[in-house]
Structure 1
Amino acid sequence: MNIADWKRTIYAVLALPAYLAGPRARRRLAKRWLDAEPRHDGFLAGVAAFPVALLVWYLVGRIATFGFFWTEAGAAGSWGGPSLIGAWAVHFFCALGMSVVCMWLLRPLTRRQVRVPDQVDSTHRT
C-alpha cells in the first residue's frame, strides 16, 4: 500500500458523484487525484469501484475508533478478547488484509476509468 493506492480510494469514492456532476467535475477529479484524463466509457467501472473504496474507508474509520465502541459485555465474544488491545490487534490485522485486497481490486477499476499519459522510460532512449 502506497500513496497512489490511497489516492485511488479517494478517487473511487468521489468518481461516481462526479459522473453525476458532469464532465468538468470528472476531469478536475481525475487530474487532481490520479494526474490523468477521464475516459468516457468508465461509468460501470466507477459503479464497481465505489463500494470497494467505501469498504476501505469504513475499515480505516472503524479500526481507528475501535476503542470507543468497546464494552465489557461485548468483550467475551470478541475476537482477540477479553482485552481491548487483543481485540483491537486481531481486528486491525483482519482489516489490513481486507484493505490490501480492496486496494488491489481498485487498481484495474480506476485504470478503466482514466487515461494515464504515456510515461517515458528513462532507461530507454530512441
Structure 2
Amino acid sequence: MDLTQQPLADRGARRNRSAHLARVILREPFRAGTWRRTAYVLLALPVGLLCVPLALVGGPAGRIQRGLARRLLHLHLGEPPRTGPVALAHAVISSPLNLMAAVTSGYFWTIVVINFGFPLRSDGEPSHSWGGPTMAGAWAVHAGAGGATFLFLTPWVVKGFTALQARLVTGFLGTDRTGLLRNTGIALGVAAVCAVLSAPIIHQL
C-alpha cells in the first residue's frame, strides 16, 4: 500500500469501528438477551432467598439456581457431585449483590419509563419543569436527558451485574472454582459500593 494512503486507511478503520460501536450501543436495549439478563437480575434475589431454607432441608437448591442461570443467562455448567452446602453458600453470599443488582437495575429502568412518560405524570403545568414552559419542551428534555440516556446505559449496567453473578454461579455451583475467592470479594465490594451510592437516593424518596 502507498504510504500516502495509510492515514486514509487508518481513518476509515476508525470510522468503521466507531460505526460498529454505535450500532451495538443503539441495538442493546432492544435485544432479547438484554431482557433475559434483566429478568435474571430481578429473579436472582427471590430465588436465592427461597433456596436458603430449601438447601437446609436437602432440597434441590443448586439445581434451581443453575436452572435459572441456564435459562436466562445461557450458562451451562457441569453439576458437582454434592451441591447442598455450596448451594446454601451461594444463596447467602450472592444475596447482597443480587439485592443491589435488582435495586439498581430496577431504578434505572424506572427512570427510563418515567422520563419517556413525563406527560402522564405531569400535573399539566410544565412551566416549572426542565424544558418548560411548554409541554413539548419539557417532554423533549426529560425524554432526551433522562429517558434516552438511561435507555442506552442501563443494558450495560445489567450486563455488568449479570457477568459477576454468572461468575458466582460458576464458582459455587459448577465444577470449576478457579478465582472463586477473588470473585466473591469483588461481588461483595460491588454490593457495598452500590449500597453507599444508593443511600442518598433512598433518603430522597
TM-score by shorter chain over 0.5: yes
Structure 2: gaps (5+ residues) = 1-27, 52-60, 78-86, 171-205
Question: Are residues 1:27 and 2:66 paired?
Answer: yes
Give the number of the structure with larger relative contact order, counting CA–CA contacts within 8 Å between residues 6 or more apart: 1
Determine the structure 2 residue equivalent to 1:79: 130
Divergent runs of 4+, >4 A = none
Aligned partner of 2:65: which letter? R
Encode CA deviations 1:82-101: one digit per residue, 9 max, x unaligned: 22222122111223213433
Q: Is the 8 A contact 2:37 2:159 kept in 1?
A: yes
The structure where helix makes up a greater share of residues is: 2
- For 1:10, which of 34, 39, 53 is the aligned residue? 39
- 1:1-126 maps to which residues of 2 (within 5 A)? 1-2=28-29, 3=31, 4-22=33-51, 23=61, 24-36=63-75, 40=90, 42-73=94-125, 75-93=126-144, 94-114=146-166
Paired residues, number: 115
| 1:54 CA displacement | 0.7
Secondary structure of 1:45's aligned partner:
helix
Q: What TM-score, normalized by structure 2, do the two folds share? A: 0.47
**SS at the partner of 2:113?**
helix
Partners of 1:60 and 1:67 lie apart in 2 by: 13
How far, CA to CA, are the matches of 1:111 and 1:51 in structure 2? 17
Distance 1:91 1:45, change over 3 A: same
Mapped to 1, the partners of 2:36 and 2:132 lie a distance apart of 34
**Higher alpha-carbon Rg:** 2
**Structure 1, unaligned runs of 5 or more:** 117-126
- CA deviations on 1:14-58 (whole Å, 9 max, x unpaired) are 211111122344333322221125893543332221112111331
What is the CA–CA distance in structure 2 between the aligned matches of 1:91 and 1:48, rounded to whole Å? 26
Aligned-residue RMSD, C-alpha = 2.7
CA distance in 2 between counterparts of 1:102 and 1:10 reads 13
Distance change (3 Å), C-alpha of 1:58 and 1:112: same
